[in-house]
């Protein structure tokens, strides 16, 4: 017999003794006191059945519920003793039973074990989580290159679709240039360029589809252009080819 079985038997014995002694006392009362205590008796029976079912199935609420049950029975016993002339023998016995049940419940509540999360156990899908790098490696390489100058352009003003298209165009152009350079300069020694290069994303200048002028991205006129009507230009030559002329903000 395990400890839990012993506790169940002890609590059942305490509850049985309580009801055997309490029920006859209820029927000794008259009028309003009888009706009130009869209703309380029904409530006691229901709570006791629920609590013992919880103890049997090892549910968390069972012992707190029993604590409340026995505390209420003790208070009720005192009330009946001082107001309706309970015999001292019945008062002492019911008080002892209520106190015994309260102590057992309190003791089990203190020792009640709850499942503790295993701090060393990682979730099954932990491998899927990756900590994002603070800066992509390609960007780190460019940032460490003294020959590369970055211009502060407000990227959020560019449409995502335009950015992706420009990035794809730049990647394809670089690929083709690399292939051509490999063919023509295999035998020639590579010279390090001392000139500074600048990169602009998604473009160096911006224009409107419904206008003939192009602007700097930070120009107040550029900010008024609707995203849907924006045309990003890589250079002044690119702007001239597309039929745009420089705005006064660039002069």
Supply the DSSP string of the chain, one letter for each residue: --HHHHHHHHHHHHHHHHHHHHHHHHTT--HHHHHHHHHHHHHHHHHHHHHHHHHHTT-TTHHHHHHHHHHHHHHHHHHHHHHH---HHHHHHHHHHHHHHHHHHHHHHHH---PPP-TTPPPTTGGG--PPPSS-HHHHHHHH-TTEEE----GGGS-HHHHHHHHHHHHHHHHHHHHHHHHHSSSSPP----S-EEE-SS-SEEEETT-SEEE-TTSHHHHTS-GGGEEEESSHHHHHHTT-EE-GGG-
- Counted domains in the chain: 2
Claim to verify: residue 23 and residue 78 sit in the same structural domain:
yes
Claim to verify: residue 11 and residue 71 sit in the same structural domain:
yes
Residue 171 lies in a domain: no
Claim to verify: residue 53 and residue 103 sit in the same structural domain:
yes
Residue 181 lies in a domain: no
By residue range, what is the domain housing residue 87?
3-111
pLDDT tens by residue, 167-211:
787 788 888 888 877 777 665 555 554 444 444 557 778 888 888
Claim to verify: residue 147 and residue 72 sit in the same structural domain:
no
pLDDT of residue 106: 86
Most confidently modeled range among 71-75, 140-144, 232-236? 71-75
**Pick from 15-24, 47-56, 175-184: least confident:** 175-184
pLDDT tens by residue, 77-111:
999 888 887 788 888 988 998 898 888 888 887 66
Claim to verify: residue 62 and residue 148 sit in the same structural domain:
no
Q: Is the pLDDT of residue 113 over 80?
A: no
pLDDT tens by residue, 146-159:
554 544 434 444 45
């Amino acid at each position: 017999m395990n400890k839990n079985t012993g506790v169940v038997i002890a609590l059942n014995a305490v509850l049985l003794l309580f009801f055997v002694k309490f029920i006859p006392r209820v029927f000794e009362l008259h009028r309003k006191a009888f009706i009130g205590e009869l209703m309380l008796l029904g409530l006691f029976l229901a709570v006791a059945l629920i609590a013992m079912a919880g103890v049997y199935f090892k549910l968390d609420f069972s012992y707190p519920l029993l604590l409340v049950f026995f505390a209420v029975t003790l208070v009720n016993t005192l009330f009946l003793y001082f107001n309706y002339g309970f015999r001292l023998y019945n008062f002492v016995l019911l008080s002892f039973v209520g106190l015994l049940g309260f102590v057992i419940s309190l003791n089990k509540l203190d020792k009640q074990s709850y499942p503790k999360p295993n701090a060393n156990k990682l979730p099954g899908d932990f491998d899927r989580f990756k900590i994002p790098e603070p800066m992509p490696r390609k960007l780190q390489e460019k940032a460490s290159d003294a020959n590369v100058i970055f211009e502060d352009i407000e990227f959020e003003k560019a449409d995502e679709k335009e950015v992706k298209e420009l990035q794809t165009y730049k990647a394809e152009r670089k690929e083709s240039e690399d292939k051509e350079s490999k063919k023509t300069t295999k035998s020639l020694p590579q010279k390090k360029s001392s000139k500074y290069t600048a990169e602009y994303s998604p473009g160096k200048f911006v224009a409107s589809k419904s206008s003939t002028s192009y602007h700097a991205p930070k120009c107040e006129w550029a900010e008024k252009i609707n995203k849907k009507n924006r045309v990003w230009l890589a250079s002044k030559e690119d702007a001239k080819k597309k039929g745009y002329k420089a705005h006064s903000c660039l002069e």
